[in-house]
Structure 1
Amino acid sequence: MEVNQNDHSYNPGDIVYVFYRNPHTQDVANVQSAAVVNNPENPGELAIFLYETYYPLTNDMAVYQSEAEAMEVYEQYFSFE
């Protein structure tokens, strides 16, 4: 299965980069690598596997193909200078 999001296609096994907020400190966010996998909870769908949790891969999720691309967007949203 392949998911096309923002002109990018994702397949199981791809490594992508996402923003991850610390669940204990909501004002802390980081760029984190994650794997694209087949969603075990919904066969036929893809998910992002991050910190032992599956997140459905949807068009609403901000997913980046490179760490550099993710960091550039991260700086735009989280830089307070």
Structure 2
Amino acid sequence: MKVNQNDHSYIPGDIVYVFYRNPHTQDVANVQAAAVVNHPDNPNELAIFLYETYYPLTNDMAIYQSEADAMQAYGQYFGYE
């Protein structure tokens, strides 16, 4: 299955980059690599697999195809340009 999100197509096995907030320190966020996978509860949907958790792949997610793009966006959002 292929999903289009923000003008990009994703297939299971793709590696993408997302912002991840530390659950213990909410004011800390990092860029983290994650895998695109079939959602285990619904094989017709794709998910992001990050730290042993599945997150549905939706248009609401900020997903970057390269670490450089993610770091640039991170700098813009968090003021570290």
* TM-score category, normalised to shorter length: over 0.9
Residue type at the aligned position of 2:42: N
Residue type at the aligned position of 2:58: T
Partner of 1:20: 20
Scaled by the length of structure 1, the TM-score of the pair is 0.96
CA distance in 2, matches of 1:5, 1:48: 12
Deviation at 1:42, TM superposition (A): 1.7
Q: What secondary structure sits across from 1:44 in the alignment?
A: strand
* Contiguous gaps of at least 5 residues in structure 2: none
CA distance in 2, matches of 1:62, 1:22: 16
Deviation at 1:43, TM superposition (A): 2.0
Residue type at the aligned position of 1:72: Q
CA distance in 2, matches of 1:53, 1:80: 28
Deviation at 1:80, TM superposition (A): 5.7
CA distance in 2, matches of 1:41, 1:26: 28
- Looking at secondary structure, tell me which structure has more strand per residue: 2
Identity between Structure 1 and Structure 2 (%)? 84
Instruction: Number of aligned residue pairs: give it.
Output: 81
Q: What secondary structure sits across from 1:27 in the alignment?
A: strand
Partner of 2:31: 31
Deviations 1:12-38 (A, max 9, x none): 000000000000100000000000000
* Contiguous gaps of at least 5 residues in structure 1: none
Scaled by the length of structure 2, the TM-score of the pair is 0.96
Residue type at the aligned position of 2:47: A
